[in-house]
Amino acid sequence: MTPVVDVRGLRKVYPLDGGEDVVALRGVDLTIDPGEFVAVMGPSGSGKSTFMHIVGFLDRATAGTYRFSGSDVSGLGGDQLADLRSRALGFVFQAYNLLARTTAVENVELPMIYAGVPAAERRRAAMDALDAVGLSKYAEHQPNQLSGGQQQRVAIARSIVNRPHLILADEPTGALDSASSEDVMALFQRLNRERGMTVMLVTHEADVAAHAKRLVTFRDGNIVSDAPVAPANAAVLV
């Protein structure tokens, strides 16, 4: 099986004027196979965001290799990375990032507009994605007519609509109350289990991470632990 993400010896150094450089990643190795659901945890400043940005083609490593779905992306230029990002990745952020005064279904269509999908096909795929997150009835609602949890589910529909190889979620429950967090995490679990979506999620909260199948922990720019999530939690799912 070709891994979705395969990084070797990944280093990231932020040069600082007039001071010591900051080494944010110190040689990280990580492989994520199709169908995995990985949570990334670690104290503030441990390198999680830097790692997420590099995996999401939003930043480049200083050294090391990155193979994405079998292709070496270390040497790609900005335009090629942007193209790959829009075709092969889905992003979910803490702040939902939906367009205001734009309906849910139109928000979900946006990544397909960038990808040049014809209008009729866009609408059909966006409605399917809204159905997958349980929001078909809310297709014509605008973000300010939806709860935080519903807005995040629209954002998740938007992240899956292009059938990405990988969903990257950055603190996706950070702005939600506990009941909505639980809904959103149950949704990620369902998309992973039933649709085989590969998910990497960064979180501060252990009970959020407990929904994943694998937990990777960063400290001081290194991965210090990489282990399956205890199956006790998985048993609750069936």
- By C-beta, is 52 or 187 nearer to ligand ADP? 52
We find the least distance from the C-beta atom of residue 4 to ligand ADP, in angstroms, to be 21
Q: Is 111 in the site for ligand ADP (CB under 6 A)?
A: no
Sign of dihedral through CA atoms 114, 116, 119, 121?
Answer: negative
Q: How far is CA 67 from CA 71, 194, 195, in A?
A: 5, 26, 23
- What is the C-alpha separation between 97 and 113, in angstroms, rounded? 17
Q: Are residues 140 and 105 in contact, defined by beta-carbon separation less than 8 angstroms?
A: yes
User: For residues 133-152, which are near ligand ADP according to CB under 6 A?
Assistant: none
Query: How many residues bind ligand ADP, per CB under 6 A?
Result: 11
| Torsion angles phi and psi, residue 110, rounded to 5 | -50, -50
Q: Is 27 in the site for ligand ADP (CB under 6 A)?
A: no
Which of 14, 124, 195, 230 is close enough to bind ligand ADP by CB under 6 A?
Answer: 14
- What is the C-alpha separation between 47 and 143, in angstroms, rounded? 32
Q: Is 42 in the site for ligand ADP (CB under 6 A)?
A: yes
- By C-beta, is 6 or 170 nearer to ligand ADP? 170
Q: What is the x/- site pattern for ligand ADP, positions 50-89, by CB under 6 A?
A: x---------------------------------------
- By C-beta, is 123 or 204 nearer to ligand ADP? 204
* CA 141 remoteness from chain centre: 24
Pull the structure tokens for residue 112: 């397909």
Q: Which stretches of the chain bind ligand ADP, using CB under 6 A?
A: 14, 22, 24, 42, 44-50
